[in-house]
Chain A
Amino acid sequence: MKRRSFLQRAGLAAGAMASVTLPPLAWAQEKSKLKITGIRLVKTKEKNPLPKYTPSAGSWSTQGVEVANPVSIYPEYKPTRSLFQATNVDSFTVEVTTDKGITGLGQGGPGGGPIVTGHLAKLMMGRDPFDIERNWDICWRATMSYGRAGVVFNALSGFDNALWDIIGKALNLPVYDLIGGETKDRVPAYCTGNDIEHHVKFGYTKLKLAMPHGPASGREGMRENARLVERARKALGPDGEIMLDCWMAWTERYTIEMAEMLEPYRVYWMEEVLQPHDYEGFGRLNEAIKSTRIVTGEHEYGRYGFRRLLQVNGAQIWQPDLAWCGGLTELRKIGALASAYDIPVIPHAGGLNGASHFTIATVNAPWCELFMPPPGGPKQVYDMFEERYGITRGPEGIYMHPPREPGWGWYFESDGPI
């Protein structure tokens, strides 16, 4: 349990201590024993892969469907998001190795990989991974001239997350036990995706729908959005919750009109209706709309970004992404800022990307976002999914629990360098 015993078990204690003349304090002996010796991007493979299958015909999860987005105003990119999304600007996994054999994996966001290897590595090689605050601050300051958001934060997030993995493994504790322990026994999960009946049948009572249409689809698009919400309300009955993901696609006026149209279906939140730089617009909508909650945050970065959102009262719930917002170190600061204003934090994609460790350890983090394997698969695929995410059922539908293994307890492992 203690690092000392871990290191002894690993047979590492004896050699390095030989040169110590006076017996220093236990911690002082051990502190220098972990040093970052390698930082590289890796491919990953699932430890226990879910079987491959072809989803049922008509499943939303095939991704060949229209989802409203900021590029929808251009007809050539409107049909699917894959038409405009980059093919070679990937999210990444970084592997940080130490001189004592403990290795951490961290996930970061699109385009961040080259910054990790091209800049952060130069700063971080040889450092103690336990110096979480200093390491983060050095990366933040050193990239300030071209960073502060976006790709550079995607990079910083992945690196920071890898350090937390190392610390958890060195201490033999899951990440949530490093940051305050369990504040709840399990985490209520909501499911994102438009295979509504499939998700309800599985047991979810909280659904987030991807809105197919925005202003580019006109009035008929609005009616189609409403029909989708109506379908979800029918499938859930009166008590479940419906959330809408609008992925930066709408406008202020459009949002107000949609909110009026959807009032009979009781929508719990409308997410990221505007583009992330329009802080004042989010603030005005939050004032104007009382029938639902205006929420956002997945494309916001760092404590300063969320402070800006806070100052205009831009969102009733914050949705930072662990792999984009600055990593766990920054997510905790964002969470603290939110807590002083009693704002819930429900990290983007939190059930999948490790942020459920934050959620279970944070009082003002009530739910996490989860997805589901598409319909049409063999029973085994859903059983394995339940096991991977620690799924249980209860009054709020589906619950999950972060992995109890040391570190993040990723379901994948390194498959060698990229």
Chain B
Amino acid sequence: MSKMPTIKQVRAFTLRGGGADYHDQKGGHWIDDHIATPMSKYPQYRQSRQSFGINVLGTLVVEIEASDGTVGFSVTTGGEIGCWIVEKHLARFLEGACVTDIEKLWDQMFNATLYYGRKGVVINTISGVDLALWDLLAKVRGEPVHALLGGAVRDELVFYATGARPDLAKQMGFIGGKLPLHHGPAEREEGLRKNLELLGDMRQRVGDDFWLMYDCWMSLDVEYATRLANAAAEFDLKWIEEALPPDDYWGYAELRRNVPSGMLVTTGEHEATRWGFRMLLEMECCDILQPDVGWCGGITELLKISALADARGKLVVPHGSSVYSYHFVITRQNSPFAEFLMMAPQADKVVPMFSPQLLDEPVPVNGRMRASALDAPGFGVRLNPACDLHRPHTH
């Protein structure tokens, strides 16, 4: 009988500048260029998402060291508050536990924070710990994480690109391009016209067969989203993403009935846990679920969300999250493609999604990634030693 190592120490750090908090970019980046948000109704917060604090959290780095010296780690969005939760609350469950005991640890972290958690930054933090646990277990076993999740179901991943330049993404070999929506309801008819003009312009540049999608980042209401979707059908919009605030399940259900036949409604990046996704499924809110593995509860929870979706014949195409998503997507039949976030400021070249925080982070080549690019133990990435880690709390 084997004896698996136990967890010796858990450490949590913050990190600034890009990476897991991918909104934390310098000026002149497409990701902060007048993108429609729930705050766009306030003119002073309309031009920049950073102006209302989208990057306020920063990156959370969780490091878990085992008794045999193996170290697993992860990055997600969570910053100092995440560090506090890890060090002051979650560490007690982790230290001393066996590295195989993933299910019990998740359940203990979730239930112990139920009275102040359930969604948002607490689940981001639990996700970060969970990802670090999977990284650790896989390294102890000497396997990539995808091998622990059932193995690759296909030999390569194909990607669509999210960013301001679907036309360039097409040239780079991606299967589709997702644009950020720039104008919300507060910018009235002129904004709607501009939204459609940009889409029309891109459709002209990419031709007929390339997917075009709109990411609306919770900025619309049912009425506006319905009009946008119906008008966008002329330009063959494939899906309309996160059009409404995530708590408006009823609105999503209505929007899904309102969009033109064949157009998909997608959402989920700001939804958390199996219970949240159960709501989206039961109320027929969307066609594709888009959980973020760094925010929805980690790999442990994403496996459950995926099973839930699969029983209803729904696709799960995780939001962003680099290697943490790649290792999952390649193991799931109902996740046929993946998202790649274009982090070059002008969206004109492929750079690693969580750059500069990770080393060895694979990127798609010609819009594709071979399964063999994911074959290093754990999630196959290293924390960049050049990063300026800060540990605000200890325990």
Contacts and interface: CB of A to CB of B under 8 A. Distances in A.
Interface string B279-317: 000000000000000000000100111111011100000
A77 B29 CA distance: 77
B151 A337 contact: no
Contact of B308 (A128, A340, A363): A340
B100 A177 contact: yes
A6 to B, nearest CB: 10
B331 A337 contact: no
A26 B150 contact: no
A25 B311 contact: no
B174 interface: no
B150 A340 contact: no
B57 to A, nearest CB: 27
A172 B143 CA distance: 14
Interface in A308-344: 329, 332-337, 339-341
A43 interface: no
A284 interface: no
Interface residues of B, number: 45
A379 B346 CA distance: 79
A303 B277 contact: no
B102 A180 contact: yes
A131 B333 CA distance: 12
Nearest to A5: B142
B310 A362 contact: no
Contacts of A334: 307
Nearest to A361: B103
Contact of A132 (B141, B144, B150, B275): B150
A340 B304 contact: yes
Nearest to A305: B311
Contacts of B140: 1-2
Interface string A334-369: 111101110000000000000000000111000000
A406 B2 contact: yes
Nearest to B333: A137
A133 B305 CA distance: 16
A363 B107 contact: yes
A25 B378 CA distance: 12
B153 to A, nearest CB: 4
B46 interface: no
Contacts of B4: 1, 173, 177
A133 B372 contact: no
A336 B303 contact: yes
B375 interface: yes
B386 interface: no
Contact of B377 (A26, A132, A172): A26
Contact of B153 (A31, A130, A133): A133
A266 interface: no
Nearest to B155: A134
B142 A27 contact: yes
B304 to A, nearest CB: 4
A182 interface: yes
Contacts of A136: 150
Interface in B357-382: 372, 375-377
A341 B311 CA distance: 13
B98 A181 contact: yes
B183 interface: no
9 contacts: A27-B375, A31-B147, A128-B151, A132-B151, A180-B104, A183-B107, A303-B310, A303-B311, A333-B311
Given A133-B151, A304-B311, 13 more contacts: A131-B150, A136-B150, A137-B153, A171-B2, A173-B100, A180-B102, A181-B98, A181-B104, A303-B307, A336-B305, A336-B306, A336-B307, A405-B1
Interface of A: 1-4, 24-28, 30-31, 128, 130-134, 136-137, 171-174, 177-184, 303-304, 306-307, 329, 332-337, 339-341, 361-363, 404-406
